[in-house]
A and B are shown apart, each in its own frame.
Chain A
Amino acid sequence: MINKTVKDAREAVADIPSGAFLMMGGFGLSGIPENCIAALLEKDIKNLTIVSNNAGVEDFGIGLLLKKRMVKKMISSYVGENAEFERQLLSGELEVDLIPQGTLAERVRAGGAGIPAFFTPAGVGTEVAEGKEIREFDGKEYLMERWLRADFSLVKAWKGDTAGNLIFRGTARNFNPMMAAAGKITIAEVEELVPAGELDPNQIHTPGIYVQRIFQGKDYEKRIEQRTVSKK
């Protein structure tokens, strides 16, 4: 089996240059590539474009990259948790494409699956539809959306093996599997890395063909944004 293992996050992101087009998995702070983000912060690069559903919070996740002004453009569906993001956006320092979440997920899926465009009902009649082709199918209007593909996709899984097969946990799966498929180079960080053959092939969520580099991350903080508890 092909061995995709790299030593650590620093080695994994070493060749990511300024101006790169990146995808990062995660929903809120759940399932984000914490180790890769930390390694990017150490690099002297800028003008990144990042596809990610959210933009982290001010002092964690992608928010750290924004604070260091490493990001030129975000492609996201919801950025309400990050006040610094909103400030940079309203002042014009940061470009942003806000797109419906299902459209974002499908554009990434399409990128990985070799489908250059598709039609969706989301956004018909809104400013999202401006400049896009509208077509009617069976009496309802749909708009055309194009695929998204990345130079590098940074994903986070629960378990992985040296062949790049990935298993996710809970709702930390979210955008990670589609992004893994949509990256020219996909870097997977996992909580537990095992030799190929140890994971049950029936349980694999992302087959290793989509992953070029894998390493076992460390010191996962897994910060919780909204700690809601019930008594008893």
Chain B
Amino acid sequence: MLTKEQIAQRIAQEVENGQYINLGIGIPTLVANYIPSHLDVVLQSENGLLGIGPFPTEDQIDPDLINAGKQTITMVPGSALFNSSESFAMIRGGHVHLTILGAMEVSENGDIANWKIPGKMVKGMGGAMDLVASAKNIIVAMQHCSKDGQSKLLPSCSLPITGIRCVKKIVSDLAVLEVDPKGGFILKERAPGVSVEEIKAKTAGKLIIEGEIPEMRFD
């Protein structure tokens, strides 16, 4: 089973040179720590920044500079600042190449639920609905099962959904899976030490297994 950091590390392998990338709150934020330094990419913050840098040192802290998770950040050289409608213009306009976000549930046709648990949790969708409705490529970082062991990869979402038929790839603590446009999770890689049988048992939606499934590599 992968740790949160390892999920982020595996997702970082999906990043390509020249991409503009939006990272969601939680595990997706950690992806920034593992993007290889030889790649030139730009991280977008929905609250109005292209060019998120590392967290500040104590003496660099600036309350006027935060990310979507309200964490203090810095800007890399060449950054640009803008307002919220401009920010979502670049998101909806398809200018952001890759979106990485967390999920409570994903369905086998690529629907995602990550914003509401009726009667229990109402935090709001933030920018997630705009992002999933528009991004060219969406990768989900998530735990394969809930804390009480229920699969979060389902035939259809039980929670209110955030977007329909939008998830392309999932990296969970157990596996890397692609969403088949015809419906189903295509198993691509296993976490080190995790068997195909275990992934099968913990995936409630349709799982497609073709040939030998390799273990993930962390070089």
- A residues neighboring B (CB under 8 Å): 27-31, 53, 76-81, 86, 89-90, 96, 98-106, 108-109, 120-128, 158, 168-178, 205, 222-232
Is B163 part of the contact surface with A, judged by Cβ < 8 Å? yes
**A224 adjacent to B61 (CB under 8 Å):** yes
**B63 adjacent to A224 (CB under 8 Å):** yes
A-contacting 9-mer, from B64-72, B148-156, B209-217: B64-72
**B48 adjacent to A171 (CB under 8 Å):** yes
Closest to B58 in A: A229
Is B13 part of the contact surface with A, judged by Cβ < 8 Å? no
Residues in A neighbouring B125, C-beta threshold 8 A: 77-78, 98-101, 128
Residues in A neighbouring B62, C-beta threshold 8 A: 170
**B91 adjacent to A102 (CB under 8 Å):** yes
Residues in B neighbouring A230, C-beta threshold 8 A: 54-57
Size of the chain B interface, CB-CB below 8 angstroms: 50
Residues in A neighbouring B9, C-beta threshold 8 A: none
| Assembled-state Cα–Cα distance A9/B2 (Å) | 52
**A122 adjacent to B133 (CB under 8 Å):** yes
Please name 24 pairs of A and B residues whose Cβ atoms are closer than 8 Å in the assembled complex, sorted by A. A30-B66, A77-B126, A79-B123, A100-B127, A100-B129, A104-B84, A120-B92, A124-B163, A158-B64, A169-B64, A170-B65, A171-B66, A173-B48, A175-B84, A205-B83, A223-B63, A224-B61, A225-B70, A226-B66, A226-B71, A229-B56, A229-B57, A229-B72, A230-B55
B94 to chain A, nearest CB (A): 10
| Assembled-state Cα–Cα distance A101/B49 (Å) | 15
**B81 adjacent to A171 (CB under 8 Å):** yes
**B122 adjacent to A170 (CB under 8 Å):** no
Known A77-B126, A98-B122: A229·B64 in contact at CB below 8 Å: no
B62 to chain A, nearest CB (A): 6
Q: Is the interface of B mostly helix, strand, loop or mixed?
A: loop
| Assembled-state Cα–Cα distance A84/B56 (Å) | 30
User: Out of A28, A108, A125, which one reaches B70, CB within 8 Å?
Assistant: A28
A55 to chain B, nearest CB (A): 9
Is B191 part of the contact surface with A, judged by Cβ < 8 Å? no
**B126 adjacent to A101 (CB under 8 Å):** yes
Closest to A101 in B: B127
**A122 adjacent to B92 (CB under 8 Å):** yes
Residues in B neighbouring A229, C-beta threshold 8 A: 55-58, 61, 72
Residues in B neighbouring A99, C-beta threshold 8 A: 125
User: Out of A27, A124, A171, A172, which one reaches B133, CB within 8 Å?
Assistant: A124
**A170 adjacent to B129 (CB under 8 Å):** no
Known A106-B85, A169-B64: A121·B134 in contact at CB below 8 Å: yes
